[in-house]
Homo-oligomer: A and B are copies of this chain.
Amino acid sequence: MTYQDLFETIRKKRSYLCVGLDTDPAKLPKHLLDHPNPVLEFNRRIIEATAPYCVAYKPNTAFYEAMGSQGWELLRQTLELIPRTHFSIADAKRGDIGNTSKMYAKAFFEDMKADAITVAPYMGADSVQPFLEFEGKWTILLALTSNSGSQDFQVLNVDEDHCLFERVIKTSQVWGDKHQMMYVVGATQTTELQAVRKLAPDHFLLVPGVGAQGGSLEEVSKWGMNRHCGLLVNASRSILWASDGEDFAEAAAAEARRLQEHMSHYLEKYLPSQQHD
C-alpha cells in the first residue's frame, strides 16, 4: 500500500483507526475455548466486525511468541486474515546488526507478508536499512513511545536543539523517506507532537496509547494531522476486550465505530480541505 493509497483509504473510510491484535489467550471469552482454534477464531471475528471502521491492523508479536511455535503460526495466519484493503503492521520492535536485521525483514515481509514492521532505533543506520530495502514495504521506527519508560532515555537532550527521540527522527530521514518510513509517537505525550511535526511534517505517525493507555484522540488529531492525515491511531485493549461475553465481536465493532465517528469529525475539523499531489 502506497502513501497515497493509504491516504485515499483514510479519506474514503473517514477513519485512521488501527486495531491492535494483541490477543492474550488468557483473556479470551470463555465460550470460545471449545473452538478448535480459539485465538484464530477470536481474531477472525474481531477483524470481520471491525473492518468497516478501521484502515489497519497491528498484531504485536509478543502475544503470539508467548504461545510457542504454534503461536508463530497463529501470527502468520492472523496476518493472512487481514484483508488486502487494510494495512498490516507486524509490531515486532526488531533491530540488530545488518546481516541479522535482513533476516528479520525476510521473516516479516516475505514469510509473514506484512506491509510494515516496527523497528527499534537504538542500533542505528545499518540495523534499520535492511528493512528499507524491501520495495513497497514500510518501516515504522520507534521515536517517542507511550509508556512511562519513554522518559528514561528518549527525552534526554543530545544537543542544544534536540532530545534523543527528535534526533532519531532527524537522523533517520537520511535513511528513507515518507513513502517507506513512519514513526511511532506515543499519544500520551501530545505536547511533543508539535515537535515531531516540525521535524517530520509529511510522514505518517503510528500513535499508540489512545484508549486503555489514556491518550486523547482529539489532541492527537489536532496536533498530529497533516495534509494527508498522516496519522494511524492504534487501539488494542479497549476494542479487543470491550466485552468478554458472546457479544465480544459486536462490542468490539461498537467501540471501533465510536472511535471512527470521532475520527470522521476530526478529519472534518483538522484536515486541510483539498489535497492534490
Residues of A within 8 A of B (CB): 22, 24, 60, 62-63, 65-73, 76, 91, 93-98, 100-101, 103-104, 106-108, 111, 120-128, 142, 145-154, 156-159, 164, 167-168, 171
**A107 near B66 (CB under 8 angstroms)?**
yes
Q: How far is A76 from B98 in the complex, measured between Cα atoms in Å?
A: 24
Given pairs A68-B72, A121-B152, A127-B147, 13 additional interface contacts (CB within 8 A): A22-B100, A60-B100, A63-B100, A65-B103, A66-B103, A68-B107, A91-B96, A97-B147, A120-B120, A123-B145, A126-B147, A127-B149, A153-B158
Which residue of chain B has the shortest Cβ distance to A213 in the bound complex?
Answer: B97
- List, in ascending order, chain B residues with CB within 8 A of A171's CB: 152-153
A57, chain B: closest CB distance, angstroms: 16
- List, in ascending order, chain B residues with CB within 8 A of A125's CB: 148-149, 152
A151, chain B: closest CB distance, angstroms: 7
**B98 near A120 (CB under 8 angstroms)?**
no
- List, in ascending order, chain B residues with CB within 8 A of A142's CB: 122-123
- List, in ascending order, chain B residues with CB within 8 A of A158's CB: 153, 156-158, 164
- List, in ascending order, chain B residues with CB within 8 A of A62's CB: 94, 96, 100-101, 103-104, 107
**B124 near A122 (CB under 8 angstroms)?**
no
- Whether A104 touches B167, Cβ cut-off 8 Å, given contacts A97-B145, A149-B128, is no
**B153 near A124 (CB under 8 angstroms)?**
yes
